[in-house]
Every structure is written in C-alpha cells, then in structure tokens.
C-alpha cells in the first residue's frame, strides 16, 4: 500500500542492517484494536540480532508519523493502528494510488462458447471472472485484451452441416432456433449412426482443406450464431475485444505440425501424432484419423497470438475440469520451444441449483443463461414493483454477477434467488442499496462543495475511513491471485460500515457545519470506492432502489 510505503522502506532497511533481505508483507489485522500487522519477524525469534532488531522497530514506530499506536507481541508480531490526520490527500487521489508500477500486457481467454449452441449457465463464471479480471487489470494500468475464443470449427460444426444435408435444411437461411434444435440431434446421430459419422468426417475434412461449398455453409452457421451470442452478451453487459475462434488458426496448424515433426518434437504413434516428450500418458496432438483436438487448436492459438498480439501473460479463465488439458498445453508450449511467456489457468468451480445439482430446465436440458437472467428479472419485479425496466435490468445483472464473484472461484456454489436478492444479506442488492443511500444523502445535502477537512468524530467514521484506505490492498489481492472474491467481499464490508456510519445519526441535522461537511466528505469517499469496485466487478450502480 502506497500510504505505508515509507514505513515499509524503513522496516526493510532496518532488517538489511542485520543481513535480512526480504520484502515486508503488511496484512490487514484481525485484532479489533489494530489496523495492520507485520509478520516478518516471527520466524526470526532466534536470530542473533533479534533484540537489536526489536529495539529498532520500536524506535521506528515511535518516530513514524503514520503510526498512531502499536504493539510487538511475544512471538514478534508487529500490530499497529495508523494516524488518520494525514490520509485525506491519499483518499482524494485514490485512482492514482492503485496504479501498478510495472504494467503488463495481458490476454484474457474466456467465454469459450460453441457456435450453434446458446450460452448456458455453465458459461456464467467464465464470463464474470474474466470480465472482472479485465476491468481490474485495466484500472491499475495493465494493457488488457479479451478474447472470446469461440468453438467454431471441427467436428461439432461438421455434424451440424451433415445433419442439414440429410434433412434438406437450407443452411444459408438457417435460424438460431433451428441451430439450437439441430446441435444435440446431430451430436446424438453421430454417436449412433455409422453412415452419418462417415459423412460428418468427410465434411470435417473438406473444412480443413478449405473446400469452397463447405466453407460457405460454415460461414452461414457462424454468422447466425455469433449474432445471437452478441445479442445475449450485450443484455448481460459483456463484450470482447477479439471475436476469434478455432477457425482463425486452421491455416496455422498444418505448418506447425510439419515443423514440429521435422524437429522430432512429435511423431506418429498408431496413426496418431503424439508429443515425443518423455511422459505418460503421451500427449496426443492429432487423432489417428487426422482430426484436431482442443490441444491442437490451442497450440495454434498460442502461435497466432505470438505472431499478432504483443503480450506478456495469457490467462485462461476456464473451469477446473480442464485442469489436465492446461497442464498438457503449458508443458507442450515449453517442450516445443515456443517463445517464453507466462501462461496461467484461472480455474473455477461450478454454479449449481439450490440443491447443489447441475442447473437444468424442467425438461432436463441445460438451462440457458438468458433464461436465468429472465427468471432473475421476474423475481425482482415481483418484489420491487415500483422500479423501472432499466433498474430491474441492472439489478438482475448485479445479482448474477455479485453472487457469482463473492464465492472463491476455486469452489462450487449454489444459486439461490431468494438468498441473493435479500436486501439485508451479503448480496448485490445490499451493496447497491448502500451506494444509492450515499448518493441520495449527497443530493439531499445540496452541498456542491465537497472540499472540506476530514474530522473523525467517532468509531464508526474511523472504521469506515480505514477500510476505504484498504482498497489498494484488495485490488492487489484480486490481481495477484486472479481472484475477484477479494474485491466482492471488500465491497460488502465497506457497504456495511457505511450503513453503520449512516444510521449512527441524522447527518443532515448535524449543527456544526464543519463536522457535517466532513461526514458528507466521508460519504463521497465511500461512494467513490464503492462505484470503483463495482466497475472492477462488472456491476453498474443504480440510482433508485
């Protein structure tokens, strides 16, 4: 945290005098009477200079203006509270304080829908986590590019085209509803009908060889499907910088395979191509019939990005079940000597129904994401009859986003509309209500001049101010670990503290004008932080509740 940087620097210099070279890690204290904790000294209890170090820390703490009170425990935990007399400038310039000192170029690969299929509930977490990482990294100064990575090539598409052929369906006039109906039927037929399987494989081969008629049919299917995807994503407040898919790397794969074969990095094994890396099981690059796997197209995508998009890091926001796939992908990238970049799988658990089962429709099919959105809108309309359509829309997306990001991405969670729309619970509705309250208070004050001196008059104000100072810490946690739940929980914490502050007294009735102005200033700082965190999570603030 930049406000504690001088303290950190002094602390590190003190340790270096005793030949201890390590970064000071400041944590938010769980002890009620302290704000922060430094644990670095705990492991040095038996160090030859420990008494000298502890004396130095005590002197440092007494002399440092940012520290108000402190203690050094028997186990050498250093706990301290900060002096709030000099924090106003930091709060005023909060956007600058959260900027990273070392910006990176990041590609975030998330979304991953297949053409021919609607977005379903299984896409929710990838979309929400990916969007949050996108906005948060941009906010701190990283250059970020989002790629939807469409599944728009290969056997699933060939199956759709084959099904249309045997059913005499005119592809260049196909509708979204037809595609939704055809996709599962073609997949089932492929598993059960040998002659259909042969036809689909022939079409897939034609696609890979860029046969003109097959490409025309593929383009018709892709255009209709992508148009529908864009419409649904727009309703859910999602968008992407790149709308690329597996098809965009089809012309890269053949020369890639030829090069890797020549370099003896891959070899034939019972008709299939496998990596020559010494590992069991062998990493499969192409099937024995020559068709590509997800690994094949992902390797092609890596090369395409290396060629066309400057980047340092690629984040793959894909569910935990694909862990083994990404282990193989990252090992292959290294073994094949592709240019060195940082690759990371940002895995996540599933979203389930209230009983903990996979989300299904009443008919037993996978629930569409747009239907979950409509169900949420209908539920909110029923309990908020006075709200307009725009507010209901934003609140529905708040519920779908906040309840999803509040859970640690690594774990599963149960989606419960009654629980997630509770105005008194740890919900998106609660945090929206807090910021609406703050906005209304500032509007009612009719005080256009929000410049004043910060005056802390009670414990509620102090707790809120300290928590607002911690924004930088939670942004760092979220970007360091690619975990938006740190920010989602922080948003609830500051909303709860603001409500305690708001309910403590009638702020507009405070007689002392300087104190009243300070309370409105605190409200402004809360609103700034609240709205900024909402933007990181992908939530739009509403004006009425």
How far apart CA 144 and CA 137 sit, in angstroms, is 7
Residue 358 has a pLDDT of 77
Predicted confidence (pLDDT) per residue in 100-145, tens digit: 999 999 999 999 999 999 999 999 999 999 999 999 999 999 999 9
Q: How far is CA 87 from CA 63, 218, 280, 456, 466, in A?
A: 17, 60, 57, 11, 9
Region 281-306: what's the mean pLDDT?
92
How far apart CA 151 and CA 297 sit, in angstroms, is 10
**Is the pTM here over 0.85, yes or no?**
yes
Region 433-459: what's the mean pLDDT?
88
Region 535-544: what's the mean pLDDT?
97
Compute φ and ψ for 296, nearest 5 degrees: -60, -50
SS3 for 176-232, per residue? HHHHHHHHHHHHHHHHHCHHHHHHHHHHHHHHHCCCHHHHHHHHHHHHHHHHHHHHH
CATH number of 367-545: 1.10.730.10
Confidence bin at 482 (pLDDT 50/70/90): very high
Where along the chain do its domains lie? 2-82, 105-345, 367-545
Contacts of 149 (CB under 8 A, 6+ apart): 109, 110, 111, 112, 244, 245, 246, 301
How far apart CA 289 and CA 271 sit, in angstroms, is 7
Residue pair 90/129 in contact by the 8 Å Cβ criterion: no
Predicted confidence (pLDDT) per residue in 40-87, tens digit: 999 999 999 999 999 999 999 999 999 999 999 999 999 999 999 989
In the three-class reduction of DSSP (H, G, I as helix; E, B as strand; rest coil), residue 437 is classed as helix
Residue 288 has a pLDDT of 87
The gap from C-alpha 144 to its chain's centroid, in whole angstroms, comes to 13
Confidence bin at 291 (pLDDT 50/70/90): confident
In the three-class reduction of DSSP (H, G, I as helix; E, B as strand; rest coil), residue 463 is classed as helix
Q: What is the DSSP letter of 144?
A: E
Compute φ and ψ for 352, nearest 5 degrees: -120, 170
Residue 208 has a pLDDT of 85
Nearest CA-CA partner of 531 in 519, 520, 543: 543
Q: Is the pLDDT of residue 91 over 90?
A: yes
Nearest CA-CA partner of 401 in 385, 384, 415: 415
Region 460-486: what's the mean pLDDT?
97
Q: Is the pLDDT of residue 447 over 80?
A: no
From 30-44, 280-294, 484-498, the region with the lowest mean pLDDT: 280-294
Beta partners for residue 106, in sequence order: 144, 313
Q: For domain 2-82, give the fold.
A: Gyrase A; domain 2 (3.30.1360)
Region 501-521: what's the mean pLDDT?
93
Report residue 168 as tokens.
């005499």
Nearest CA-CA partner of 141 in 516, 538, 472: 472
How far apart CA 430 and CA 493 sit, in angstroms, is 11
Residue 545 has a pLDDT of 87
Residue 209 has a pLDDT of 86
Strands 413-414 and 351-352: parallel
How far apart CA 133 and CA 487 sit, in angstroms, is 11
Residue 450 has a pLDDT of 64
Predicted confidence (pLDDT) per residue in 351-377, tens digit: 998 888 877 666 567 889 999 999 999
Q: What is the DSSP letter of 103?
A: -
CATH number of 105-345: 3.40.50.620
Nearest CA-CA partner of 402 in 371, 434, 366, 357: 434
Q: What is the mean pLDDT of the chain?
A: 94
Contacts of 382 (CB under 8 A, 6+ apart): none
The gap from C-alpha 138 to its chain's centroid, in whole angstroms, comes to 12
Residue 1 has a pLDDT of 85
Residue 292 has a pLDDT of 87
**In percent, how much of the chain has pLDDT > 70?**
98
Residue pair 137/317 in contact by the 8 Å Cβ criterion: no
Residue 361 has a pLDDT of 64
Q: Is the pLDDT of residue 412 over 90?
A: yes
């Amino acid at each position: 945290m930049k406000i504690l940087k001088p303290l950190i620097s002094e602390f590190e210099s003190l340790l270096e005098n005793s030949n201890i070279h390590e970064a000071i890690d400041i944590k938010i204290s769980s002890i009620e009477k302290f704000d922060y904790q430094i644990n670095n000294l705990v492991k040095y209890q038996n160090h030859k200079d420990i008494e000298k170090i502890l004396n130095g820390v005590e002197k440092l703490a007494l002399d440092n203006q940012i520290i108000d009170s402190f203690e050094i425990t028997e186990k050498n935990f250093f706990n301290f509270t900060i002096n709030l007399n000099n924090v106003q400038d930091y709060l005023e310039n909060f956007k600058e304080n959260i900027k990273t000192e070392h910006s990176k170029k990041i590609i975030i690969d998330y979304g991953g829908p297949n053409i021919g299929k609607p977005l379903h509930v299984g896409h929710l977490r990838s979309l929400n986590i990916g969007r949050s990482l996108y906005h948060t990294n941009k906010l701190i100064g990283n250059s970020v590019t989002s790629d939807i990575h469409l599944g728009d090539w290969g056997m699933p598409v060939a199956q759709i085209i084959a099904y249309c052929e045997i059913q005499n369906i005119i592809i260049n006039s196909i509708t979204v509803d037809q595609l939704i109906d055809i996709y599962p039927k073609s997949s089932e037929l492929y598993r059960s009908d040998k002659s259909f399987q042969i036809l689909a494989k022939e079409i897939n081969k034609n696609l890979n060889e860029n046969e003109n008629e097959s490409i025309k049919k593929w383009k018709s299917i892709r255009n209709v499907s992508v148009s529908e995807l864009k419409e649904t994503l727009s309703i859910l407040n999602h968008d992407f910088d790149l709308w690329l898919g597996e098809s965009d790397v089809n012309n890269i794969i053949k020369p890639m395979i030829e090069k890797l074969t020549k370099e003896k990095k891959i070899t034939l094994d019972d008709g299939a191509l496998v990596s020559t890396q010494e590992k069991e099981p062998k990493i499969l690059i192409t099937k024995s019939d020559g068709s590509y796997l997800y690994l094949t197209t992902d390797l092609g995508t890596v090369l395409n990005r290396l060629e066309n998009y400057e980047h340092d890091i690629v984040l793959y926001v894909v569910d935990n079940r694909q862990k083994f796939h990404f282990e193989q992908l990252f090992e292959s990238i290294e073994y094949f000597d592709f240019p060195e970049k940082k690759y990371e799988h940002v895995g996540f658990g599933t979203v389930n129904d209230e009983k903990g089962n996979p989300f299904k429709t009443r008919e037993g099919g996978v629930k569409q994401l747009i239907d979950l959105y409509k169900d949420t809108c209908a539920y909110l309309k029923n309990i908020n009859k006075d709200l307009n359509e725009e507010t209901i829309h934003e609140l529905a997306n708040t519920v779908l986003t906040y309840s999803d990001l509040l859970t640690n991405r690594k774990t599963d969670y149960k989606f419960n509309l009654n629980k997630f729309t509770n105005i008194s619970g740890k919900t998106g509705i609660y945090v929206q209500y807090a910021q609406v309250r703050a906005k209304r208070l500032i509007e009612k004050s009719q005080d256009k001049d929000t410049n004043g001196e910060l005056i802390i008059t009670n414990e509620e104000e102090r707790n809120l101010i300290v928590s607002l100072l911690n924004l930088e810490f939670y942004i760092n946690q979220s970007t360091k670990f690619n975990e938006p739940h740190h920010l989602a929980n922080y948003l609830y914490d500051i909303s709860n503290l603001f409500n305690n502050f708001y309910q403590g007294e009638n702020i507009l009735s405070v007689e002392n004008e300087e104190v009243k102005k300070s309370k409105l200033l605190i409200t402004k700082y809360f609103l700034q932080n609240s709205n900024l965190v909402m933007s990181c999570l992908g939530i739009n603030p509403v004006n009425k509740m």
